[in-house]
Amino acid sequence: MELIRVPKVENVRLEDRLNFANPDIGTLYLTPTHVIFVESIVKKEHWILLTHVSSVEKLPTTASGCPLFIKCKHFLHVTFIIPRERDALDVYLSLNQLSQPTKLNDLYCFFYNAQDESFNRSDGWSNFNLEQEYRRFLGSDESWTKTELNSNYNICNTYPSTLFVPALANDECLIQSAKFRSIGRLPVLSYLYKNLAAVCRCSQPLSGFNNRSLEDEQLLQHIISANPKSKGELYIVDTRPKINALANRAAGKGYENEQYYLKAKFHFFAIENIHVMRASLNKLLDACNVKQTASEFPSTIGASNWLKHVKSLLDTSDFIANSVRDGTSVLVHCSDGWDRTAQACSLASIQLDPYYRTIKGFQALIFKEWLSFGHKFSDRCGHILSDMRETAPVFTQFLDAVWQMHRQCPTEFEFNEDFLVVLHDHIYSCQFGTFIGNCERERNELRVNELTYSLWAYLDSHVEDYVNAFYDPILDSNDKLIRCDENFLNVDTSPQRIQFWRGLYNRHEHLIHAREPPERLLIQGKKEIDSLASVLKALADSET
């Protein structure tokens, strides 16, 4: 790592788009991990993690100095106006170098020391076990079994080492199915509902126009047979627009041929690819960064199509969840099965299982569907300098969809909005090793559980900050969550119910649409009431 060219610059002006007239003046410090701005008069400090920096733009010099416009991955936008152009150039070059490491083991998590925290480096890494999570919802059902075929990542190096498959499927069936699926991501169990209908996931088949695999067809038949209460059919949910799936056939991929999968019913959902989503979020953020009236804001947000894409996600998950609740197993895939597939399976699981609406359960869901099944966090989040065409806000969009559910059903979730925001920020911060790498195998090779701290340990130590005051779970006599139809989460996907998430995208601009959302005011009010109740109780106890 090169030395920082200029560690300190004085008389720097800090501007944001709401504070051009009276910018703060202070000293800018550049460290190997942070940009720190200290205001001269009140000595207030502003810290920006370098791993949160998305881009730095050197704007034309003005009479006030040379502006550096910084965009961050957690949606902070600031401008530092530096008096001397030479200092500005040095800061610009240093920021670009330090915020874009070229190797994963140069990331912040491998140097971070949680000396001010109450947890240790070993804490959190054993919070979740994939097999235990499957046993939780499989119970005594014997139609599904664990296979060791991928224990060394031989069949699929982006899948977890532990897989659950139909008990009727032999090893040869699984091996040949993997060969027929893109990147070896064969159909495996994602979640089993209490009526024995399953959510399964995979990647697209290498079907082209005429290719087939008898073993893959047999595996899907075994999935149908594992659901004795079904009508002998399977829904295949292809999350892509059908025209995209058809285009992939020309490249030897595509989707299952209807004449070979006779008991399958095909459903296409128009969730767009990562390139469309990346452009859509950029338009959304541009809309947030343009001066406009309150009446103009909704139309510019709508023009980004971001809310339309979130609605597509919720439409897909709602179809999957309702199909499974009605007794039909569903196989979900997109192209490679690590973006749209992870989104759809996760959201459907939240609707089906109240455990995934708890703090621990939501973390377990992320561990299973995203970390274990190989969502490409480092590529999609741009953790290191690489092909920017691989970056995409896939996990951001998933959290947005969860927030939409939370907003509609606030008493159904144990966690609050802040929990989702903190999760989002630490996906990009690289402060913890939990989300470093693109799959389980890569994280094992990087030894993140030995060399870095776990985000789960951090969340455990601050859990009181993330509890939803309005959570109202349905419990049995042993205080366990009940898995029942009454706990199915119904989601209204009407366009008017899909809202802009100001608490994520605009949270750094406190004056924009300044009215606090009602739920935040209610939570604050409840905290104050609880505090007063504690004081009254203490006074009463002292009198006795």
Contacts with 244 (C-beta within 8 Å, 6 or more apart), sequence order: 273
Amino acid 21: pLDDT:
60
Amino acid 522: pLDDT:
61
Amino acid 527: pLDDT:
60
Task: Give the range among 132-136, 191-195, 320-324, 470-474 with minimum mean pLDDT.
Answer: 470-474
Residue identified by tokens 């119904």 is 490
pLDDT per residue over 199-216, tens digit each? 999 999 999 988 999 999
Q: What is the pairing mode between strands 329-333 and 45-49? A: unpaired
Reference 26, options 96, 95, 89, 83; nearest CA is 83
Checking if the pLDDT of 405 tops 90, the result is: yes
CA–centroid distance for 460 within its chain: 19
Specify the length of the chain in residues.
Answer: 544
Task: Give the range among 173-187, 469-483, 510-524 with minimum mean pLDDT.
Answer: 510-524
Active site residues: 334
Which residue has better confidence, 474 or 422? 422
Question: Which tokens in the block code for residue 227?
Answer: 């659901």
pLDDT per residue over 256-290, tens digit each? 998 999 899 999 999 999 999 999 999 999 888 77
| Burial of residue 99, with CB atoms counted within 10 A of its CB: 0-12 exposed, 13-18 middle, 19 or more buried | buried
Which residue has better confidence, 116 or 273? 273
Reference 316, options 356, 276, 273, 348; nearest CA is 348
Task: State the Cα torsion 379-385-391-394 to the nearest 10°.
Answer: 50
| Percent above pLDDT 70 for the chain | 92
Checking if the pLDDT of 464 tops 60, the result is: yes
Amino acid 486: pLDDT:
74
Q: What is the mean pLDDT of the chain?
A: 91
Task: Give the range among 11-20, 221-230, 416-425 with minimum mean pLDDT.
Answer: 11-20
DSSP character for 59? P
Confirm if 431 and 108 have CB atoms less than 8 A apart.
Answer: yes
Checking if the pLDDT of 518 tops 80, the result is: no
Q: φ, ψ for residue 459 (rounded to 5)?
A: -65, -40
Question: Which tokens in the block code for residue 496?
Answer: 């008017």
Amino acid 526: pLDDT:
62
Checking if the pLDDT of 536 tops 90, the result is: no
Amino acid at 437: G
Stated as kind and residue range, the H or E segment containing 375 is none
pLDDT per residue over 34-86, tens digit each? 999 999 888 889 999 999 999 999 999 999 899 999 999 999 999 999 999 99
pLDDT per residue over 407-433, tens digit each? 999 999 999 999 999 999 999 999 999
Question: Which tokens in the block code for residue 489?
Answer: 């989460």
Question: Which tokens in the block code for residue 22?
Answer: 């009276």
Output helix, strand, coil percentages for the chain, rounded to the nearest 5. 45, 15, 40
For 159-185, b/e burial (b = at least 16 CB within 10 A) is bbbbbbbbbbbeeebbebbbebbbbbb
Amino acid 514: pLDDT:
37
Reference 331, options 226, 232, 266, 236; nearest CA is 236
Amino acid 523: pLDDT:
59
DSSP character for 410? G
Q: φ, ψ for residue 250 (rounded to 5)?
A: -65, -20
pLDDT per residue over 369-402, tens digit each? 999 999 999 999 999 998 899 999 999 999 999 9
Question: Which tokens in the block code for residue 279?
Answer: 């452009």
Residue 411's alpha-carbon distances to 465, 467, 472, 503, 523, in angstroms, are 17, 11, 5, 19, 12
Confirm if 410 and 468 have CB atoms less than 8 A apart.
Answer: yes
**3-class DSSP assignment, residue 481:** strand
Which residue has better confidence, 485 or 498? 498
CA angle at residue 156 from 153 to 162, to 5 degrees?
60
Checking if the pLDDT of 307 tops 50, the result is: yes
Q: What is the mean pLDDT of residues 438-452?
A: 97
Q: Give the predicted TM-score (pTM) of the model.
A: 0.92
Q: What is the DSSP string of 171-237?
A: HHHHHHHHHHBGGG---EEEEE-TTS-EEEE---B--TTT---HHHHHHHHHHHHT-TTS-S-EEEE
Amino acid 231: pLDDT:
83
Banded pLDDT at 515 (limits 50, 70, 90): very low
| Cα–Cα distance, 133 to 249 (Å, whole number) | 36
Confirm if 143 and 230 have CB atoms less than 8 A apart.
Answer: no
Using only C-alpha atoms, the chain has a radius of gyration, in whole angstroms, of 25
**3-class DSSP assignment, residue 276:** helix
Checking if the pLDDT of 517 tops 70, the result is: no
Checking if the pLDDT of 219 tops 90, the result is: yes
Banded pLDDT at 358 (limits 50, 70, 90): very high
| Percent above pLDDT 90 for the chain | 80
Banded pLDDT at 468 (limits 50, 70, 90): very high
